[in-house]
């Protein structure tokens, strides 16, 4: 007689346990209804939050006598509301009371607390409550208010839309700060009355240390509480559970640190590719990958249908799930970090020295189906296709696994970024070497459609008139010697001492892009911002790889910067340097005669 009840209880013991940590992570999944566990207003979880740099910064800012308007902006999910709650808590308001006060006064009309200097503090929790015009007027009124300090939280898009409806003086001040902060690092106006903290510059990593940023903290928070995970040892499904397997792989002393660092490295590459990763998206992606998109009840279902079946788990292991294969297109596109991670997916990067070490016969216990067991003889094309798909799936699985298990040196190469290490060295302050300069020159010339020359040569910049794809020849507008090329990390940190409030010191900062500086003799300079993808493309193009159609957006962006390089001043000579079919010629028009020579 089957004693099993509908809820799975057999009598005496529950065969499959429910882990509270897994349930908590499940509420953070991107496909979980509303992802309510990650929205402060809907979350009643009192677990400790990640102590951000901005929390201390905003506490100091509200205490300053000059401060009148502090705008916390950035994409949804960076933690703006959470920061306001923390601020009120720091000023002596209880957590429950802080929640109540914030939600009951959306217009910032009442005093929510007093700063340590006794000034009234008002907070607008979310500018998105108001239509653009109303929000714009509200900002202008706040700036004109006589006393007190007001903190305004605004998603960057809505803030810009609201500001675009106004012509008030403060409007242009705020827009200027937003536009210039990434180059100058300044986050306040000259009088330091308006401060804009743009959390889109907040990194999920702290500096270059994978062990110290938000990702490392979140992994610890999800995985390291033994009291939460001990229940799994009593679960009957523990031997077939991919969630427990992922947790084991990320906590076993011998390999855990390396694997966690690899997770952080992946996030670092995603950020360096120019994608803003909010804390909410980072938590969504991490929780989803650690659980493989499932929870204890799903595991229970599988256990009931096959207690020893180990063929389904491999897709749910953290090193596979982090690339979002099982998510639908809509969910994936709503989280830019997933799209960016998929672009860097090591499963699709073929490196001979890596692939040669794989052995299909030596797959771990939770593995994809062995292609050799599919068909005894492949008679039809459909069977052959099935076999090829199966081999591909195995290789994708093994490459991804190997990426997280690999040592640091070739991690970026496995992400398809052959020149990623060089880029990160530049981010960390290295200077351009001669060979690297030539590589960048080759890449920039290729972007303009000029075949590169062997050996050291100046950067040839063609007249913007010849950027179109129909050009078979081009006029050279300028040549810059390699010594005029240098790199710098943005924002410029040289004026860090001028103001107490600098972008780098107000958020969790990690540099993400470099600026290639072209010094123009007799003139100023032109800077070209480069993320890790643009840098990789430039390096590859210099080696001959080119696909202008696929990377049209990148090419257009590079050309828009190169087009700013001015032509040299008037020359006495009437010579014009031209490139025709890769050959450089000099055209001369003396006395109405067209002459040319190589």
Does 472 bind another protein (CB under 8 A)? Our answer is yes
**Which of these, 51, 50, 8, 45, lies nearest to 25 by C-alpha position?**
45
d(CA 442, CA 431): 18
Other CB atoms within a 10 A radius of the CB of residue 598 amount to: 6
Which lies closer to another protein via its Cβ, residue 67 or residue 155? 155
d(CA 507, CA 501): 11
Does 157 bind another protein (CB under 8 A)? Our answer is yes
Does 589 bind another protein (CB under 8 A)? Our answer is yes
Site string for another protein, 109-148 (x = CB under 8 A): -------------------x---x----------------
Does 179 bind another protein (CB under 8 A)? Our answer is yes
Minimum distance from residue 102 beta carbon to another protein (Å): 18
Options 174-182, 355-363, 368-376, 479-487: segment touching another protein (CB under 8 A): 174-182
Does 155 bind another protein (CB under 8 A)? Our answer is yes
Does 592 bind another protein (CB under 8 A)? Our answer is yes
Other CB atoms within a 10 A radius of the CB of residue 400 amount to: 22
Options 178-186, 229-237, 375-383, 440-448: segment touching another protein (CB under 8 A): 178-186
d(CA 366, CA 369): 10
Options 298-306, 393-401, 481-489, 573-581: segment touching another protein (CB under 8 A): 573-581
d(CA 88, CA 253): 40
Options 42-50, 138-146, 377-385, 458-466: segment touching another protein (CB under 8 A): 458-466
Which lies closer to another protein via its Cβ, residue 301 or residue 568? 568
Q: Which of 8, 274, 464, 482 binds another protein (CB under 8 A)?
A: 464
Site for another protein in 263-302 (CB under 8 A): 276, 278
**Which of these, 228, 344, 348, 214, lies nearest to 286 by C-alpha position?**
214
Query: How crowded is the C-beta side of 234, counted as CA atoms within 13 Å?
Result: 11
495 close to 186: Cβ distance less than 8 angstroms: yes
Q: Which of 114, 180, 315, 496 binds another protein (CB under 8 A)?
A: 180
Q: Which two tokens stand for residue 483?
A: 């010594």
Does 569 bind another protein (CB under 8 A)? Our answer is yes
What DSSP character marks residue 48? P
| # of chain residues touching another protein (CB under 8 A) | 56
Q: Which two tokens stand for residue 20?
A: 């509270």
Does 594 bind another protein (CB under 8 A)? Our answer is yes
Which lies closer to another protein via its Cβ, residue 1 or residue 571? 571
Options 156-164, 309-317, 322-330, 431-439: segment touching another protein (CB under 8 A): 156-164
Which lies closer to another protein via its Cβ, residue 26 or residue 502? 502
Minimum distance from residue 333 beta carbon to another protein (Å): 11
Options 88-96, 361-369, 414-422, 468-476: segment touching another protein (CB under 8 A): 468-476
Does 585 bind another protein (CB under 8 A)? Our answer is yes
Residue carrying the six token digits 């009931």: 304
Does 546 bind another protein (CB under 8 A)? Our answer is no
Does 435 bind another protein (CB under 8 A)? Our answer is no
Which lies closer to another protein via its Cβ, residue 230 or residue 596? 596
Does 343 bind another protein (CB under 8 A)? Our answer is no
Minimum distance from residue 563 beta carbon to another protein (Å): 5
Does 463 bind another protein (CB under 8 A)? Our answer is yes
d(CA 497, CA 271): 27
Options 108-116, 251-259, 320-328, 474-482: segment touching another protein (CB under 8 A): 474-482
Options 290-298, 318-326, 373-381, 562-570: segment touching another protein (CB under 8 A): 562-570
183 close to 525: Cβ distance less than 8 angstroms: no
Residue carrying the six token digits 């010094």: 519
360 close to 395: Cβ distance less than 8 angstroms: no
What DSSP character marks residue 528? E
Does 524 bind another protein (CB under 8 A)? Our answer is no
d(CA 88, CA 94): 8
C-alpha 337: how far from chain center: 6
Burial class, 67, CB count within 10 angstroms (exposed 0-12 / middle 13-18 / buried 19+): buried
Does 238 bind another protein (CB under 8 A)? Our answer is no
Does 473 bind another protein (CB under 8 A)? Our answer is yes
Other CB atoms within a 10 A radius of the CB of residue 421 amount to: 15
Does 571 bind another protein (CB under 8 A)? Our answer is yes
Does 557 bind another protein (CB under 8 A)? Our answer is yes
Other CB atoms within a 10 A radius of the CB of residue 195 amount to: 26
Orientation of helix 532-542 relative to helix 434-447, angle to 10°:
90
Q: Which two tokens stand for residue 236?
A: 């009957």
d(CA 140, CA 363): 64
d(CA 25, CA 222): 8
3-state secondary structure string across 120-174? EEEEECCHHHCCHHHHHHHHHHHHHCCCCEEEEEEEHHHHHHHHCCCCCHHHHHH
Binding site for another protein (CB under 8 A): 75-77, 128, 132, 155-158, 160-161, 164, 179-180, 182-183, 276, 278, 463-466, 468, 470-477, 552-553, 556-557, 560, 563-564, 567, 569-571, 574, 576-578, 580-581, 585, 587, 589, 592-596
């Amino acid at each position: 007689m089957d004693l099993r009840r509908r809820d799975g209880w057999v009598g005496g013991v529950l065969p499959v346990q429910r882990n509270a940590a897994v349930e908590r992570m499940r509420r953070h999944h991107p496909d979980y209804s509303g992802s309510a566990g990650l929205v402060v207003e809907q979350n009643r979880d009192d677990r400790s939050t990640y102590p951000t740099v901005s929390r201390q910064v905003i506490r100091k800012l509200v205490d300053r006598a000059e401060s009148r308007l502090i705008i916390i902006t950035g994409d949804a999910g960076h933690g703006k509301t959470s920061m306001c709650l923390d601020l009120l808590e720091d000023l002596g308001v209880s957590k429950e009371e802080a929640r109540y006060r914030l939600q009951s006064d959306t217009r910032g009309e009442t005093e929510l607390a007093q700063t340590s200097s006794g000034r009234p503090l008002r907070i607008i929790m979310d500018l998105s409550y108001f239509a653009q015009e109303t929000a714009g007027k509200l900002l202008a009124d706040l700036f004109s208010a006589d006393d007190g300090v007001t903190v305004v939280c605004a998603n960057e898009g809505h803030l810009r839309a609201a500001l675009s409806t106004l012509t008030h003086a403060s409007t242009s001040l705020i827009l200027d700060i937003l536009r210039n902060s990434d180059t100058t690092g300044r986050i306040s106006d000259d009088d330091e009355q308006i401060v804009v903290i743009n959390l889109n510059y907040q990194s999920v990593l702290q500096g270059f240390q994978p062990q110290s940023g938000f990702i490392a903290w979140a992994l610890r928070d999800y995985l390291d509480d033994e009291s939460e995970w001990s229940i799994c040892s009593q679960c009957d499904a523990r031997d077939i559970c991919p969630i427990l397997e992922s947790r084991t792989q990320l906590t076993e002393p011998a390999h855990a640190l390396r694997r966690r660092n690899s997770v952080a490295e992946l996030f670092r590459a995603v950020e360096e590719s120019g994608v803003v990763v909010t804390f909410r998206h980072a938590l969504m992606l991490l929780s989803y990958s650690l659980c493989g998109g499932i929870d204890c009840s799903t595991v229970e279902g599988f256990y009931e249908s096959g207690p020893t079946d180990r063929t389904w788990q491999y897709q749910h292991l953290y090193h596979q799930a982090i690339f979002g294969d099982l998510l639908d297109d809509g969910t994936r596109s709503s989280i830019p970090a997933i799209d960016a991670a998929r672009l860097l997916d090591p499963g699709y990067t073929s490196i001979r020295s890596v692939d040669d070490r794989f052995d299909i016969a030596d797959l771990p216990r939770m593995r994809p189906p062995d292609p050799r067991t599919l068909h005894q003889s492949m008679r039809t094309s459909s069977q052959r296709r099935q076999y090829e798909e199966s081999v591909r799936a195995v290789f994708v699985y093994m490459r991804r696994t190997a990426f997280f298990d690999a040592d640091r040196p070739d991690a970026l190469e496995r992400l398809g970024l052959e020149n990623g290490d060089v880029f990160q060295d530049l981010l960390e302050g290295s200077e351009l070497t001669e060979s690297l300069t030539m590589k960048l020159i080759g890449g920039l010339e290729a972007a303009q459609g000029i075949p590169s020359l062997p050996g050291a040569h100046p950067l040839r910049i063609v007249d913007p008139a010849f950027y179109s794809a129909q050009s078979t020849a081009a006029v050279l507008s300028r040549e810059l010697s390699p010594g005029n090329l240098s790199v710098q990390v943005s924002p410029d940190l040289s004026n860090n001492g001028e103001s107490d409030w600098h972008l780098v010191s107000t958020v969790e900062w990690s540099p993400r892009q470099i600026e290639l500086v072209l010094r123009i003799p007799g003139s100023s300079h032109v800077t070209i911002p480069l993320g890790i993808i643009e840098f990789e493309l430039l390096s590859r193009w210099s080696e001959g790889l080119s696909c202008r159609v696929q990377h049209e957006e990148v090419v257009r962006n590079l050309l828009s910067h190169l087009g700013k390089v001015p032509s040299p001043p008037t020359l006495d000579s009437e010579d014009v340097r031209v490139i025709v079919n890769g050959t450089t010629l000099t055209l001369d028009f003396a006395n109405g005669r067209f002459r040319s020579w190589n």
